[in-house]
Structure 1
Amino acid sequence: MTLTPDTSQAKSPSAPSEHHGPATVLTPLGLLTVLLGASLSSIDFFIVNVALPSIEHDLDASPATLEMVVAGYAVAYAVLLVLGGRLGDTFGRRRLFLWGVAAFGVTSLACGLAPGAWWLVGARVAQGAASALMLPQVLGTIHATTSGERRARTVALYGAVSGIAGLLGQALGGALVAADLAGTGWRAVFLVNVPIAAAALLVGVRAVPDSRAARPARSDVLGTILFAGALTALLLPLTEGRATGWPLWSVLLLAAAPLLGLAFAGVERRAERGGGSPLLPPSLLREPGVRSSLVLGLPIFIGFSGFMFGFAIVLQQGLGYGALKAGLTVIPMGLTQVPASMLVPRLVRRWGARAMTRAAVVHAVGLAVLALTLLWTSWSDLSPLALAPGLLLCGAGQGVQLALYYRLALAAVPAARAGAGGGLTATVQQSCLALGVATVGSLFLGLVPDVGMRGAFEAALAVQGVGLAALALGSLRLASSPGAGGGPSLRGSA
């Protein structure tokens, strides 16, 4: 497998061919519009981190409820992403993108007007579902309407936007909470989405090209139910179990998750062998590039979300920063993350898949610098400037990782399965983001009472460092595997 083959015209014998509407070229305005949609969905995963103390005070929310405000969005998002990609394949990616944008605006309004904590949780779940309609169409549209070097640049830009959106979410959230516009406080972090979604909807009608599968696939009701059940059974107890004392329901759900996963895999295999239309074709997972990228995505996204969740708490509760100062502190990560993402095509031509290895090393060095800064400096004297060197290195490593993940993931996906491939890629991303909060975030919160916030965050950084070591070793193995993308063919196709 090469890292960026031109698969824009590739079709498998059993896959439906690709059909495009009147506008088949992704113009700069169309690209800007779909990337705006992608950034909205990513921003809203992180934007609430710095608003949680205000939400807790205003709505009298318990710690478990606050975790659900974050995780409810992520779980609904992850569970429905593959279905969103399938719907785009069937009904048209532009139509589903526009529906998703409209639903995102409405559900953001519902979040901003929430009268109570559980209303907010419900609105966040609905907002996650809207994002699941919107995001797969972005990757699917890029994959179906670009090819060659232009696709490589566009995917790199998508990776840059995906990464910077998380950082922008916390910075923007802090600014909006601190500004307290018209007395809206934390509600502004949701209300700001409404005019942006309206603008994206108006422009998207004309600027976003349409694409879909020529022969619409039949619905896979049983597969959809089992897939949703397996992900929910895994993510919900991992998110809420610690905060609620690991009640019986959480243990039972965790036990049921692998059984539901096995049942889903069996149903999908039977559907594909029988000529049906499985929600997630097993043959897609047999593509070496798809499998490799999914495995490499685990430490990337689990580490990213766990870090951002814990760091937001450290900044506000440990260092005593206000919401605005805490949000602005992460800006150095963005200053290096965007240019690093855009350099990925050049880095791949030079180093092949080893670019991921080098990025993991740079990221690990950044974590070490940040850990030493937190360890050796009195927290009462610790300024955002002192944290900047470590964050700059983290951003550079992370920028390459994100862009290269999407490039790997989409390289082997036939254009006729662009929606399903985009949905699968984004599902791994969102599932791992939720897992990061549920595992690394819960570890951090669980250690605070025993070892203090400094010790707890050092432990969380150590866990992320182990993940980066695994990423570096995994990418080395990928680079050295025959046909895995580490040789001359990779550099030539970049």
Structure 2
Amino acid sequence: MSTTGVASTETPTNSPTPYRWRWVALFVILAAEVMDLLDAVVTNIAGPSMRADLGGGASTLQWLAAAYTLSMAVGLVTGGRLGDIHGRRRLFLVGAVGFTVGSLLCAVSVSPGMLIGARVVQGLFGAVMLPQGLGMIKEMFPPRESQKAFGMFGPVMGLSAVCGPILAGWLVDADYFGTGWRMIFLINLPLGAVAFLGALRYLPRGRAESKPRLDIPGMLLVSLAALLIIFPLVQGREYDWPVWAFVMMGASVVVSAVFARYESRRSSAGLDPLVVPSLFRKRGFSGGMILGLVFFSTMQGFMLVFNLYTQIGLGYSPLKAGLVMVPWSGGMIVGFGIAQGVARFGRAVLQAGTVVMAAGVFGVWRTLETVGSGVGPWQLLPSLLVTGIGMGLLMAPFFDIVLASVEQHETGSASGTMTAMQQLGGAFGVAILGTVFFGLLGGGIATAVDHRADGLRGQLAAAHVAPAAQDRVVADLRKCASDRAVTKDPAATPASCARLEKDTRAAMTSPEAGARIPAALKATASSAFEGGFGSAMKTVLWVVDGMLALTFLLSFLLPRQARPEESGAH
């Protein structure tokens, strides 16, 4: 038995005395979660600056985010199991160091290829680091405190999602020491150092009674299955959903079935599986995986589409768009606090959160329907606050219910699988709601131009534009505005917009027309753009509420309490 450092304060998992430094250790784990969540979103804001500095095509922007998501998703299940084999504290330390080194490589990148490769390094080491946190929380906290500990993930995720774009926009604009976009990665160096030193001092040195062997064939199969499903979900929309995307997703189902059969046979033979099959015989865990997949799809998809709407549709700056979401994050903290006071109601708290969140999303729809394209941050505040409260109520008991029945030898496998489920859910949400949004957007903007066509023709007629030329210009504007909104490369000029410019020049038969026509086109396009974005956003909000209704129904798969046998305790 060790007598130095934190080991002297450690408590065996089966001891009634809780681990002494559990709350400090929780904040170390949450710091790692923050690093991951920030780095998952910052390239969405800083991507254009990166491309302007390093070069590269339109696909560069896509791969800056995709390389991170793919590499992390592929490694998460294996990363969780490695914690069972080599110790969760040790793997957390390795992951923190590797993630920090990957951040440094990102910051010093001199080409798009180097930056994308460094993002892969970040993702792989993040897959080693993140699953260890859930497992250690389960070990460190007694049952009466575990919901409070797990529930803190909700507010942290919400704050990180809001603060990430704000931080990225601020750091890029501030250009400290001439670093520009590189500072969004350099800031991880002190964060990584704090996480490493905190882990070294405060995380428990728990050791498993038996040391399982790594299932190499299972690792390869689950990694292939993850790649086959995540890649088309992340990249499918960018390529207009080609046939190969659906072939890959179908192949993922086949590989997953092969993996499940292999793991079952390996377990029956008395060998150590990568994913312990007994996990899925537990009602809390299996039901939680299904519910979590739908819920995290809803959450990530809603956040993506709402950020697109505020920044592109309403023209908010990244900073202003981030600040709009502050009530949502604040609401999550309020919801988390309420959940602690009613924790004894178990599953009912999660269900109430789903209802409240759905009411908040409906409130956002009602606000857009009432106010229209001139909606401002203060008008969105009440409904976003309610949405956040609902989400806090929903997430507070979620991890506790799902992991409560997981046994010690299953913890690493369960943690990796849960974290992978969050990544997969996020990819599903972005793919589904992003596709719905952009699928509606082009038609919505074209319809908005149609609604404004008579007024535009009147202005063109006043500028002495012939009727035939008016028809051409209106038709060109309709097509150009629609194409501009859904183009994959914002820097590219759609052919329809080039045609609009040509026909507009031809219609300018006088100096007066030369001044009035562009102004009329700009005003009409801007108004139609806002109207089309608002129309698409309102439809997506109905889809989000439908997904929350499905989440509510799936919640009945969960047990009523995390620990029914302890319902009368404490």
TM over 0.5: yes
CA distance in 2, matches of 1:282, 1:50: 41
Post-superposition Cα deviations, 1:3-40, rounded to whole Å, max 9, x if no partner, equal: xxxxxxxxxxxxxx9799xx954343322212211221
Counterparts in 2 of 1:322-471, with a 5 A limit?
Answer: 322-349=317-344, 351-379=345-373, 381-451=374-444, 452-471=532-551
Residue identity (%): 35
- Name the residue aligned to 2:561: 485
Contact 2:221 2:255 in 1 (8 A): yes
CA distance in 2, matches of 1:486, 1:225: 33
Greater relative contact order (Cα 8 A, min sep 6): structure 1 or 2? 1
Q: 2:540 & 2:309 partners in 1: Cα distance?
A: 12
SS at match of 2:207: strand
> What is the CA RMSD across the aligned residues, in angstroms?
2.5
Gaps in structure 2 of 5+ consecutive residues: 1-11, 445-531
Counterpart mapping for 1:295-306 below 5 A:
295-306=290-301
Does residue 98 in structure 1 map to residue 93 in structure 2?
Answer: yes
Task: Return the alpha-carbon distance in structure 1 between the equivalents of residues 442 and 109 of structure 2.
Answer: 32
With over 3 angstroms needed to count, the CA separation of the structure-2 counterparts of 1:283 and 1:217, relative to structure 1, is same
* Equivalent residues in 2 for 1:224-303, closer than 5 Å: 224-247=219-242, 249-303=244-298
Which secondary structure state, in structure 2, belongs to the residue aligned with residue 99 of structure 1? helix
Choose which of 173, 176, 188 in structure 1 pairs with 2:171. Answer: 176
**If the length of structure 2 is used for normalisation, what is the TM-score?**
0.77
Change (3 A) 1:164 1:104: same
Q: Deviations over 1:365-408 (max 9, x none)?
A: 111111222233243x3322222112111111111222222112
Cα shift at 1:83: 1.0
- Counterparts of 1:75 and 1:220 in 2: how far apart (Å)? 21
Question: Does the aligned pair in 1 maintain the 2:79–2:416 contact within 8 Å?
Answer: yes
Please give the alpha-carbon distance, in whole angstroms, between the structure 2 residues aligned to 1:355 and 1:277.
37
Q: 1:466 to 1:102 in 2, by over 3 A?
A: same
Segments of 5+ residues of structure 1 without an aligned counterpart are 1-16
Residue 309 of structure 2 aligns to which amino acid in structure 1?
V
Report Cα offsets for 1:402-453 as digits up to 9, x if no partner: 2222112111111232222211211111111122222212332333222232
Q: Which amino acid aligns with 2:422?
A: Q
Q: Assess if the C-alpha contact under 8 Å between 1:37 and 1:135 holds in 2.
A: yes
2:358/2:545 contact within 8 Å kept: yes
Tell me how far 1:187 sits from its aligned partner: 2.8
Q: CA deviation at 1:53?
A: 4.2
Q: How much has 1:239 moved relative to structure 2? A: 1.6
Call closer, same or farther: CA 1:137–1:75 in 2, change over 3 Å: same
Tell me, in whole angstroms, the C-alpha distance in 1 between the residues paired with 2:328 and 2:285.
Answer: 28
Report if the CA contact (8 A) 1:101-1:197 is conserved: yes
Between the aligned partners of 2:542 and 2:228, the Cα distance in structure 1 is 28
* Structure 1 range deviating more: 137-146 or 111-120: 111-120
Q: What per-residue deviation string (whole Å, max 9, x for no partner) do you get for residues 260-282 of structure 1?
A: 11111111001110011111011
Change (3 A) 1:58 1:386: farther
Could you report, residue by residue, the CA deviation over 1:113-141 in whole angstroms, capped at 9, with x for unpaired residues? 33343433332222111111111111111
**Which SS does the other structure have where 2:237 is aligned?**
coil
Distance 1:166 1:271, change over 3 A: same
**1:107-118 mapped onto 2 (5 Å cutoff):** 107-118=102-113
CA distance in 1, matches of 2:239, 2:107: 26
2:310 counterpart residue number? 315
2:449 corresponds to which residue?
none
- Report the Cα offset of residue 60 of structure 1: 4.9
How many pairs does the alignment contain? 470
Is the contact made by 1:25 and 1:146 (CA closer than 8 Å) also made in structure 2?
no
Provide the rounded CA distance (Å) in 2 between the counterparts of 1:176 and 1:316: 18
Per-residue deviation, 1:492: 3.5
Cα distance in structure 2, aligned partners of 1:283 and 1:87: 18
Aligned counterparts of 1:126 and 1:302: Cα–Cα separation in 2: 25
Q: Secondary structure at the match of 1:321?
A: coil
Alignment partner, residue 13 of structure 1: none
Does 2:291 match 1:211? no
CA distance, structure 2, for counterparts of residue 57 and residue 448 of structure 1: 27
Q: 2:118 aligns with which of 110, 123, 143?
A: 123
Q: Which amino acid aligns with 1:456?
A: A
Q: Deviations over 1:131-180 (max 9, x none)?
A: 11111111111111221212222122233323332223233223323333
